[in-house]
Amino acid sequence: MLETDPNITRIYKYVKIDEGSLRIITDFTLKFSSPSEFNDPLDCMPVIEDSPNLHEVARNKKDLRKQLNDQRGNSPAKRIENKLKDVRELQKNIRETSKSESRTVNGLGICCFTSKPNNILLWSHYGDSHRGMVIGFDVKFPKNYVTTPPSRRLALGTENLIGHNVEYASQRPVFHYGIDDNNTLLTKFALTKAKLWAYEEEIRVIEHDRGAGIFSFQPHCIKEVITGVKTPLPVIEHLSSLVEKANRDPLVKIQFKQAAISETNFEVVIT
């Protein structure tokens, strides 16, 4: 079952400073991307194959076979006669349903975060070579989250920034038609990456219903704005003024911080 890690209480997003990223502070919106936009062509690309036991799965779907025969008005004798045919038809239906589900997953909107604001590689790769910024958010669990069915929890995730840990593996996960449930499908498609990416410690917030786009989050979620060690002074001053303006909202309390190079270690420190 797809679960949310309760230990994830603050998440961070590394961004280049541009018109879109500034709207995170001014408009409280985030971009959710389609998997097709990701920089890794193997991201969200599991191996898809039929289950070797798909015939057995279909044969055991007695309720579905009964439904098929009821719709056709078949007699008991005809039902026995058509059993093999029905199983083959169910195999086809299971396969087509799974293909439809996989297409739905490819239409997800995903916003990527991490658990630490001082990762040198992330600053280099996503923080505009340390000229950008990192924005920290508190994860907010609604009171009804625990009682909400797992299948509907994704709908609560976007505005509250409830994320899921990415898993890292040496081999691409295998999705089996007719065997894997929707949560397994989501994990194998959207939450599994190559081990080489493990340094990112990635957390993904998933927009299931609306797909890719620009979506609002709760303003009180944003807690930190951290400039990079190479962020130009005029940009720092502009960001500081935007944070000050955002903090005029009584619900918003953003701390403005700066990254600095450690005097002794190969690391970035946040001050």
pLDDT above 70: residue 132: yes
Amino acid identity at 245: K
| Beta strands at 192-194 and 268-270: parallel, antiparallel or unpaired | unpaired
pLDDT at 153: 65
pLDDT digits (tens, 9 = 90+) for 173-199: 887 766 666 677 778 888 999 999 999
What is the phi/psi pair of residue 198, to 5°? -60, -25
Alpha-carbon distances, residue 150 vs 154, 155, 244 (angstroms): 8, 10, 38
pLDDT digits (tens, 9 = 90+) for 21-70: 999 999 999 999 998 899 998 998 888 765 555 444 444 445 544 555 56
pLDDT at 104: 54
The DSSP 8-state label assigned to residue 38 in this structure reads S
Distance CA 39, CA 143 (A): 36
pLDDT above 60: residue 90: no
Distance CA 23, CA 13 (A): 13
What is the phi/psi pair of residue 267, to 5°? -160, 160
Distance CA 56, CA 227 (A): 57
110 CB-side CA count, 13 A = 24
Q: State the average pLDDT over residues 131-154.
A: 79
Do 107 and 210 touch, CB atoms closer than 8 A?
no
pLDDT digits (tens, 9 = 90+) for 57-70: 444 445 544 555 56
Q: Which H or E element spans position 203?
A: strand 202-207
Q: Tell me the percentage of the chain whose pLDDT exceeds 70.
A: 69
Distance CA 18, CA 113 (A): 18
Residue 219 CA, distance from chain mean position:
20
pLDDT at 174: 84
pLDDT above 60: residue 163: yes
Amino acid identity at 147: T
Q: State the average pLDDT over residues 94-101.
A: 51
pLDDT at 115: 93
pLDDT at 230: 98
pLDDT at 248: 97
Cβ neighbour number for residue 187 with a 10 Å cutoff: 20
pLDDT category of residue 155 using cuts at 50, 70 and 90 = low
Q: Considering only CA atoms, which of 129, 103, 113, 174 is closest in space to residue 17?
A: 129
pLDDT at 1: 45
Q: Considering only CA atoms, which of 30, 17, 262, 258 is closest in space to residue 128?
A: 17
pLDDT at 116: 95
pLDDT above 60: residue 3: no
Q: State the average pLDDT over residues 223-249.
A: 98
Mean pLDDT of the chain: 82
Alpha-carbon distances, residue 67 vs 54, 58, 63, 73 (angstroms): 19, 13, 6, 10
Cβ neighbour number for residue 122 with a 10 Å cutoff: 21
